[in-house]
Amino acid sequence: MILDAFAEGLRLALQWPSFGFLLVGIAIGIWLGAVPGLGGVIGIVLVLPFTYGMDTASAFAILLGIFAVISTSDTIASVMLGIPGTASSQATVLDGHPLAKKGEAARAFGAAFTVSAFGGVFGALILAVSLPVALPIILQFNNPELFALAILGLAMVGSLSGRSVAKGLAAACFGLLLSTIGYAQDAAIPRYWMEQPYLLDRLPLIPVVLGLFAMPELIDLAAKDRTIAGAPRTVSNWRQLGQGMRDAIRNWWLAVRCSAIGVYIGMIPGVGGAVVDWIAYGHALQSTKNTETYGKGDIRGVIAPEAANNAVRGGSLIPTVAFGVPGSAMNALLLSALLIQGLQPGKPMLTTELPFTFSMIWNIALANIIAAALLMVLANQIAKLSFVSGHLIVPGVILFVFMGAWMSLAEIGDWVTLMVFGALGYLMKLGGWPRPPVILAFILGSLMENSFLLSWKIHEGLGWLDRPIVVVILALTAATLFYSVRRNRARDRDARKGGPATLLSQSEEPADSFASIVIGGVFVAVFAAATMPLSGWPTLVLAFPLLAIIPGLLLTAPVLVRDLAGPALRLHETGARFVARADVRRGATFLGYCAAMIGVALLVGQKLALVALVAVYLWRWGRYGWRIVLPYALATAAILIGFYDRIVHVFWLKPLFADEIRAVIPDGIPVWLIL
């Protein structure tokens, strides 16, 4: 019966016009995944109203086309810019971006797109085989298990994404504390909102992600006046693409294991997409004897997370269709589409509607294959961008970064958040403090607090810690931390002896001691200040912030003391040298350009301000003439008006001089072209 349903699902996926709508969804998904700050949620929201009059198969073909390929095309931003296109491509940054810096972006794409297709197909097959046992597995994961799994994910990212395990875990605690901003989970009590209504509903994710990842990379490109690839091209992109495909085939067993990890982690609602790439990356690292090249451009560090984050899509459908429990915003929208089409999640989706469930899985598999093939063709041209002057790349990317941040809540606070975390992220990058733990902890914070509080109430304390799955997950967490500490100690011993040192980080540049001290001081100050309002909160409101504050202080304070032990006696001199660095001064100037743009936007509107930022940057900073500046500025205006205004219907800020601008606009010219 299952095999018949599996075959019928394939027929439903391939029939016309469903297959045509799948292709449309793939095209939309590739675009949305490749542009920082957009993502699949926007695409599904825009397309969902058009599915009301469609037949069920066609409606889900276009939606699943978008849903599936986001985790394939988001590799472009991760490799080229060091910006996670989505939460599930964070780990790809660690080795993908260093490969691009070495002029091997095409090789990273070749491997990533190959295993993306494989992960999608393999994930569908494994999921089909696993359907009879999927429900018992899911039912075993309740709130205690979800909390423990999130702890494992944080331990993975904290210990694997930086030079120092203590810095990584401290950064994760900082991210958890950020997630507590706004109303508490257990009561209508606002926390850490600083009397700003903007913060009552917690910090928006996209401005924080773009600030921590996109802004530092753009500052670096602008300040150092270089290309993404620091090394000259020695091999053609087509040859590199082929090499990446051969790398994927040579590491097929790693791809198989990580795809299986992706499927089964994806079945767990709310956690899978955020941690699966880190679990896969950690598995690749811990199953490899020679780990010295990880973090410096090891192709295995691209293969593992990319295989997992594509396989996770199929797995995530199970709790959505079987229980009506969506594990992410995109799954929630797919659940809405099920209800719109008259389908009820639950037992019917795994019995009478099983062929349709399989057709959904087939759509995901087909979308991964087609998207990978299309991106393979485009990869040669995309990789060429790594050899283009950074001054031509920065203005285009900054447009999408600011607009991506604005689309969170459409408030000026989005841009302020972007700038604050941009400056913080730049200092973290310079100081050797890993940024991925902050984002992962921020994403998981709400789920972890909710799971912790429910576990505490149901089990009347910590009695849930002896549950078998919780014990196993916590043991894996302890093993991960033990292995990471031991690896770092061995690295330090080798460094002292003059041997090879394993530096698992986002950049091969040495950490700046003064920047590290500044970040350490900021973290200690934030953790200490966060204790001040605790005395006025109920126990269950302050419990989770304490879980972030106490470990955060215990981890950050020794790091700060250790950093101060070196340059403490000459801290003023060290700080003066830091400020005098040409790249730091130019980076601060670039942030000044962006801040000035925000000021101009408040006066005359965002469209005029963003176009002016692009033009002024190219003219003053890039030293380009009008033949470059004018077309670039016109293209910027076309994107703002044609895509963001006319298609997405962004809610724009009303500038201070809006009435005066309207008064001087000639009759016959629509106001929306300017404001």
Residue 41's pLDDT is 66
Render pLDDT for 284-293 as a digit per residue (tens, 0 to 9): 887 877 777 8
DSSP letter assigned to residue 511: P
Q: Is 182 helix (H, G, I), strand (E, B) or coil?
A: strand
Residue 505's pLDDT is 39
pLDDT band at 460 (very low <50, low <70, confident <90, very high): confident
C-alpha 272/C-alpha 308 separation (Å) is 10
Give the percent of the chain with pLDDT over 90. 22
Residue 427's pLDDT is 94
Q: Which of 42, 210, 40 is nearest to 650 (CA)?
A: 42
- ∠ CA 471-128-76, nearest 5°, is 80
160 token code pair: 């694997």
Residue 190's pLDDT is 92
C-alpha 635/C-alpha 325 separation (Å) is 42
Would you call 348 exposed, middle or buried from its count of C-beta atoms within 10 A (0-12, 13-18, 19+)? middle
Q: Does position 269 have pLDDT exceeding 70, yes or no? A: no
Residue 491's pLDDT is 67
C-alpha 180/C-alpha 420 separation (Å) is 18
Q: Which of 156, 124, 92 is nearest to 306 (CA)?
A: 92
Cis peptide before 17 (omega within 30 of 0): yes
| pLDDT, mean of residues 428-439 | 88
Give the percent of the chain with pLDDT over 70. 87
| pLDDT, mean of residues 154-160 | 78
Is-contact 578 570, C-beta < 8 A? no
| pLDDT, mean of residues 270-274 | 62
Render pLDDT for 592-608 as a digit per residue (tens, 0 to 9): 999 999 999 999 999 99
In angstroms, the Cα distances linking 99 to 220, 266, 376, 572, 620 are 17, 28, 17, 37, 31
CA dihedral 640, 645, 650, 656 (to 10 degrees): 70
> How many helices (H) and strands (E) in the chain?
28, 2
Residue 507's pLDDT is 40
pLDDT band at 419 (very low <50, low <70, confident <90, very high): very high
Q: What residue type is assigned to position 550 of the chain?
A: I
Q: First and final CA of the chain: distance in angstroms?
A: 59
Residue 500's pLDDT is 42
- Who wins on pLDDT, 326 or 638? 638
Residue 527's pLDDT is 96
Q: Does position 36 have pLDDT exceeding 90, yes or no? A: no
Q: Does position 502 have pLDDT exceeding 60, yes or no? A: no
| pLDDT, mean of residues 259-278 | 75
| pLDDT, mean of residues 200-216 | 87
Q: What is the DSSP secondary-structure string of 253-314?
A: HHHHHHHHHHHHHHTSTTTHHHHHHHHHHHHHHHT-S--TTTTSS-THHHHHHHHHHHHHHH
Q: Does position 462 have pLDDT exceeding 60, yes or no? A: yes
| pLDDT, mean of residues 350-375 | 82
C-alpha 540/C-alpha 28 separation (Å) is 44
Render pLDDT for 44-92 as a digit per residue (tens, 0 to 9): 766 777 777 788 888 888 888 888 888 788 788 888 878 776 666 778 8
Q: 625 CB contacts (<8 Å, ≥6 apart)? A: none
Residue 38's pLDDT is 62
Residue 568's pLDDT is 56
Element of type H or E holding 415: helix 412-431
Would you call 29 exposed, middle or buried from its count of C-beta atoms within 10 A (0-12, 13-18, 19+)? buried
DSSP letter assigned to residue 532: G
Q: Which of 666, 607, 614 is nearest to 642 (CA)?
A: 607
Residue 493's pLDDT is 67
| pLDDT, mean of residues 147-173 | 83
Render pLDDT for 292-306 as a digit per residue (tens, 0 to 9): 788 788 899 899 888
C-alpha 179/C-alpha 441 separation (Å) is 8
C-alpha 180/C-alpha 540 separation (Å) is 12
CA atoms within 13 A on the CB side of 254: 27
Render pLDDT for 395-408 as a digit per residue (tens, 0 to 9): 988 998 899 889 88
Is-contact 187 450, C-beta < 8 A? no
Render pLDDT for 96-107 as a digit per residue (tens, 0 to 9): 888 888 888 888
Q: Does position 150 have pLDDT exceeding 50, yes or no? A: yes
| pLDDT, mean of residues 445-460 | 87
Range of weakest confidence among 109-118, 145-154, 223-232, 369-378:
223-232
642 token code pair: 């044609």
Residue 127's pLDDT is 66
Q: Does position 367 have pLDDT exceeding 90, yes or no? A: no
Q: Which of 401, 407, 429 is nearest to 507 (CA)?
A: 429
Residue 274's pLDDT is 67
In angstroms, the Cα distances linking 74 to 36, 70, 98, 403, 593 are 8, 6, 16, 17, 28
Render pLDDT for 628-643 as a digit per residue (tens, 0 to 9): 999 999 999 999 999 8
Residue 326's pLDDT is 66
Is-contact 269 327, C-beta < 8 A? yes
| pLDDT, mean of residues 480-506 | 62
- Who wins on pLDDT, 231 or 375? 375
| pLDDT, mean of residues 652-656 | 92
Q: Which of 360, 350, 388 is nearest to 80 (CA)?
A: 388
Is-contact 107 99, C-beta < 8 A? yes
Query: Around Cβ 620, how many Cβ atoms within 10 Å?
Result: 11
Q: Does position 522 have pLDDT exceeding 80, yes or no? A: yes
**Helical axes 626-638 vs 390-406, angle rounded to 10°:** 20
C-alpha 365/C-alpha 65 separation (Å) is 10
C-alpha 248/C-alpha 158 separation (Å) is 27
Residue 508's pLDDT is 42
Q: Which of 301, 398, 379, 371 is nearest to 97 (CA)?
A: 301
- What are all long-range contacts of 12-19, with beta carbons under 8 Å and residues at least 24 apart? 12/57, 12/355, 12/356, 12/359, 12/362, 13/57, 13/61, 13/359, 13/362, 13/363, 13/366, 14/362, 14/366, 15/57, 17/58, 18/55, 18/57, 18/58, 18/61, 19/61
**Highest mean pLDDT out of 452-466, 540-554, 579-593:** 540-554
pLDDT band at 37 (very low <50, low <70, confident <90, very high): low
pLDDT band at 188 (very low <50, low <70, confident <90, very high): confident
Residue 162's pLDDT is 65
In angstroms, the Cα distances linking 532 to 195, 522, 542, 546 are 15, 16, 11, 11
Q: 498 CB contacts (<8 Å, ≥6 apart)? A: none
